[in-house]
Amino acid sequence: YYNLDVTDLVKEYTSGKYENTGFLIKARTESNNYIAFYSSDIGNVNQEPKFSVTKKAPAVTVTVTGANDNRLRQASPDTVFQSSPYIDVGGMSNVRYRDIIRFDLSEYTGSTEVSNAAISLYWYYPEGSSRPSDTIVEIYRPASAWNPSYVSWNKRDKGISWKNPGGDWYDKNGVLQGSTPYATLTIKGSTLPDNRYYNLDVTDLVKEYTSGKYENTGFLIKARTESNNYIAFYSNDIGNKDQVPKLQLVYS
């Protein structure tokens, strides 16, 4: 047997994009190159044409919690905020705030195909007061592994500094310290916390991690601009499973 991969055409048929009109088989050039294959009328099941289909497994939806998350605070550049009940982004009183967070994806690496992934953050501050500016939350890929016991605005591990204070990251285009985020979320300055989760679509980045393209270094969360737009979300240390950061995965 000789095989031809017709996956794309069969997908068009099974999705309903086109009526199933089968396959027309020809040679690219048609001169002095005649060959023949057995047909379905040969009478031998071991020689007739075969069509092999691999069905996708049903999609599974899971919610991953238990993240490592740390605040990065410019005004406390060497302080490790590992157990704070909140994580925060933006700027307030000329101080910038960023976060770094990582979920364990080892169970989904290599053997699964992720079709959707979203980080869910529970917004809680500032309660009862608006902000002068909108907050555009952005997600980037940390450039290096970091240690939650030592990571800070200045350092990513014990005795190891970030090359850029506030964190080193790659953007969606693979640019170091680039400005094209993997995901964005805009929270209007006039909007107040409303006791619910807000989602950022991180499908592309999670696919890069679970496919093995990149080491899972987690997510660096920052605001596009960092002035007069400070907001905070509950961290994994809040102690309430209904408010902790979550990563929602759909995979097969």
What digits encode the pLDDT tens for the residues 26-42? 999 999 999 999 999 99
**Beta-strand relationship, 95-102 and 219-223:** antiparallel
Q: Is residue 2 part of a domain?
A: no
Q: Is residue 172 part of a domain?
A: yes
Asked if residue 129 has pLDDT above 90, the reply is: no
Tokens at residue 58, please?
């049903």
Distances (CA, A) of 146 to 7, 36, 78, 83: 41, 60, 14, 16
Name the pLDDT band for 54 (thresholds 50, 70, 90): confident
Tokens at residue 152, please?
């800070």
Name the pLDDT band for 250 (thresholds 50, 70, 90): very high
Partner residues linked to 221 by β-bridges: 99, 139
Task: Dump the DSSP string for 141-197.
Answer: EESS---TTT--SSEEETTEE-SSTT--EE-TTS-BT-S--SEEEEE-TT----SSE
Asked if residue 151 has pLDDT above 90, the reply is: yes
What torsion do the CA atoms of 91, 92, 93, 99 make, to the nearest 10 degrees? -60
What digits encode the pLDDT tens for the residues 61-80? 999 999 999 999 999 999 99
Q: Is residue 7 part of a domain?
A: no
What digits encode the pLDDT tens for the residues 171-213? 999 999 999 999 999 999 999 999 999 999 999 999 999 999 9
Q: Is residue 167 part of a domain?
A: yes
Q: Is residue 128 part of a domain?
A: yes
Structural domain count of the chain: 1
The confidence score (pLDDT) of residue 26 equals 97
Q: Provide the residue type at 211 as one letter.
A: S
Q: Is residue 47 part of a domain?
A: no
Residue 176 domain boundaries: 60-251
The confidence score (pLDDT) of residue 128 equals 86
Name the pLDDT band for 107 (thresholds 50, 70, 90): very high
Q: Is residue 10 part of a domain?
A: no
